[in-house]
A and B are shown apart, each in its own frame.
Chain A
């Protein structure tokens, strides 16, 4: 193409997809969500063979591949085993809204669980420098619950605890 010719405009087609979705939760996850909604209780299911908990529950024990059909109430307190302080503002796929940052995600070993069940949720703490592994936290439930992960508004650090070590 000679330089004095006008370059072709390359048109970009801009589109937005918005899809209402409804996911069946099934009897296992459904029971967990129902207990969360109706009684503000966190239920873990337990493997009849090895005794490890899964929370949120999954239908079979991932290790023994047996139906994990026994239920125990766990939490609502626990210990931080791992955490992420997120500074990157990404969209919440449920709403399309950009999440406010920083926010903190935590993997929490809930009281009463056995095995490697780390419960994944948000941790509310205005001073992220206070967060460390081993701190005790508790779940804060919403007043109006709908049977969703957001029924737990977040976890919060339990103040006045001893300078907790690991576990």
Chain B
């Protein structure tokens, strides 16, 4: 599947609010403005330099429809071209794809994407449950909570090894979050708590426990995309958008994930397509860092195998050997990931913003130690909707 770009596009700035459980000190446009102002400052430009604003979140949560109208005062979109998108949890990554497409096509030279959520202002699990098919699934679904992956991983690798690996994944993510001052949940967990937490953290669904699950956060993210000509003029430190791939399935094969293992996952299909187009035959060696949308430490653990096209227990070993730690061979989520911070409409965009920060070397205390030439970011939403985005330091061919 060829996806030839008309011209190259780079990320030249990004901004994030502090991500937290409560932002009752500001309303929605005020909160978004914080991220927009930081992104503009990062890019060294003003709102006058922006041609188009792409805006998104999940309306189900705050129950404000077309919130982009209210938010014009905070995101600076007044009088500019605009687009509004919502694709569930994937929204932030879809916003990145849209901004990239708008610039790559030649329609706009400089595009700002804005993703946000104030989960405190609605009901997260109720909102996600309302995404389900109203004729059947709505009466059965429990938001995004499911323990089926935990059962599967325990069945495949034994309960003890599986529980330790998923909790070790959780502890690594918390160690990363401790380095990221914008992260929401920063507990200071350590390896010696792994066995106790695996037994004592309150269960949500089966072996999916409170400590495994992502947070419900308030926050916003803004990113600025520019065409190659504009990048030469505006930025000495771009992160190029090499390519992106979206694969989705919804309810057509199985409700939520009951038959997940009977069919190839959308994650694996997206990775196969993206890697084939971009000459990636050995992702763990060719890609330097991966910001993965990991809604829980069971999914994070399990999905590594899908995204990195691994077989057997390679993904467990990567966790057990600390390969995914910030100073490991293949760092995953130096930001702390989604388990630490999850303002849903911004979450997938934060993955890409964080990957771009790693490429640009601007991640500060959570910058990985090795050089980053190629970074991968993923988004996840709905009932298996995957977006994968590849960024580079070098200008793409």
Residue pair B205, A84 in contact (C-beta under 8 Å): yes
Residue pair A93, B130 in contact (C-beta under 8 Å): yes
| A95 smallest CB distance to B (angstroms) | 10
Name A8-28 residues within 8 Å CB distance of B.
Answer: 10, 12, 17, 21, 23, 25
| A11 smallest CB distance to B (angstroms) | 10
| B84 smallest CB distance to A (angstroms) | 21
Interface residue count on the B side (C-beta < 8 Å): 37
Q: Does A70 interact with chain B (Cβ within 8 Å)? A: no
Given contacts A58-B251, A84-B206, A116-B263, contact A149 B139 (CB under 8 A): yes
Name B144-169 residues within 8 Å CB distance of A.
Answer: 145-148, 151
Name B127-145 residues within 8 Å CB distance of A.
Answer: 129-130, 134-140, 142-143, 145
Closest B-chain residue to A90, C-beta based? B125
Residue pair A23, B134 in contact (C-beta under 8 Å): yes
Contact residues in A for B204 (Cβ distance below 8 Å): 86-88
Closest A-chain residue to B134, C-beta based? A23
Please measure, in the bound complex, the distance between the C-alpha atom of A26 and the C-alpha atom of B145, giving whole angstroms: 29
Of the listed stretches A71-79, A118-126, A137-145, chain B binds A118-126
Query: Which 9 A/B pairs are nearest by Cβ-Cβ distance?
Result: A107-B258, A62-B252, A118-B258, A88-B204, A116-B259, A90-B125, A120-B255, A116-B262, A87-B203
Closest B-chain residue to A94, C-beta based? B139
Contact residues in A for B203 (Cβ distance below 8 Å): 85, 87
Q: Does A82 interact with chain B (Cβ within 8 Å)? A: yes
Q: Does B25 interact with chain A (Cβ within 8 Å)? A: yes
Instruction: Mark A residues whose CB is within 8 Å of B.
Output: 10, 12, 17, 21, 23, 25, 29, 33, 56, 58, 62-63, 81-88, 90-94, 99, 105, 107, 116, 118, 120-122, 148-150
Residue pair B262, A90 in contact (C-beta under 8 Å): no
Contact residues in A for B146 (Cβ distance below 8 Å): 84
Contact residues in B for A12 (Cβ distance below 8 Å): 24
Interface string of B12-44 (1 = CB under 8 A from A): 000000000000110000000000000000000
Most chain B C-beta atoms within 10 Å of own C-beta, residue among A84, A99, A150: A84
| A127 smallest CB distance to B (angstroms) | 15
A-B contact count (CB 8 A): 97
Q: Does B202 interact with chain A (Cβ within 8 Å)? A: yes
Interface on chain B toward A: helix, strand, loop, or mixed SS? loop
Please measure, in the bound complex, the distance between the C-alpha atom of A94 and the C-alpha atom of B25, giving whole angstroms: 32
Contact residues in B for A150 (Cβ distance below 8 Å): 139
| A104 smallest CB distance to B (angstroms) | 10
Residue pair B205, A87 in contact (C-beta under 8 Å): yes
Closest A-chain residue to B146, C-beta based? A84
Interface on chain A toward B: helix, strand, loop, or mixed SS? loop
A/B interface sample: 15 pairs, CB < 8 A: A23-B134, A33-B135, A81-B259, A82-B151, A83-B206, A84-B142, A86-B142, A90-B125, A91-B125, A94-B138, A107-B148, A107-B255, A120-B256, A120-B258, A149-B135
Residue pair A91, B123 in contact (C-beta under 8 Å): yes
Residue pair B151, A88 in contact (C-beta under 8 Å): no
Residue pair A10, B24 in contact (C-beta under 8 Å): yes
Please measure, in the bound complex, the distance between the C-alpha atom of A23 and the C-alpha atom of B130, giving whole angstroms: 13
| A1 smallest CB distance to B (angstroms) | 13
Please measure, in the bound complex, the distance between the C-alpha atom of A67 and the C-alpha atom of B130, giving whole angstroms: 27
Q: Does B126 interact with chain A (Cβ within 8 Å)? A: yes
Please measure, in the bound complex, the distance between the C-alpha atom of A150 and the C-alpha atom of B139, giving whole angstroms: 8
Given contacts A23-B134, A91-B125, A116-B262, contact A85 B24 (CB under 8 A): no
Closest A-chain residue to B126, C-beta based? A91
Contact residues in B for A21 (Cβ distance below 8 Å): 134
Please measure, in the bound complex, the distance between the C-alpha atom of A21 and the C-alpha atom of B125, giving whole angstroms: 20
Residue pair A116, B202 in contact (C-beta under 8 Å): no
Contact residues in A for B395 (Cβ distance below 8 Å): none
Apart from A86-B145, A148-B139, 16 more pairs, CB < 8 Å: A12-B24, A29-B136, A56-B136, A58-B252, A82-B151, A84-B142, A84-B148, A85-B203, A87-B203, A87-B204, A88-B125, A88-B142, A91-B129, A93-B126, A118-B255, A121-B140
Contact residues in A for B63 (Cβ distance below 8 Å): 17
Interface string of B44-77 (1 = CB under 8 A from A): 0000000000000000000100000000000000
Contact residues in A for B255 (Cβ distance below 8 Å): 107, 118, 120
Contact residues in A for B147 (Cβ distance below 8 Å): 84-85
| B257 smallest CB distance to A (angstroms) | 8
Q: Does B310 interact with chain A (Cβ within 8 Å)? A: no
Please measure, in the bound complex, the distance between the C-alpha atom of A62 and the C-alpha atom of B25, giving whole angstroms: 47
Q: Does B254 interact with chain A (Cβ within 8 Å)? A: yes
Residue pair A118, B252 in contact (C-beta under 8 Å): no
Q: Does B107 interact with chain A (Cβ within 8 Å)? A: no
Residue pair A85, B205 in contact (C-beta under 8 Å): yes
Most chain A C-beta atoms within 10 Å of own C-beta, residue among B130, B145, B254: B254
Q: Does B280 interact with chain A (Cβ within 8 Å)? A: no
Residue pair A107, B145 in contact (C-beta under 8 Å): no
Given contacts A25-B135, A56-B135, A86-B145, contact A105 B140 (CB under 8 A): yes
Contact residues in B for A62 (Cβ distance below 8 Å): 252-253
| B323 smallest CB distance to A (angstroms) | 30
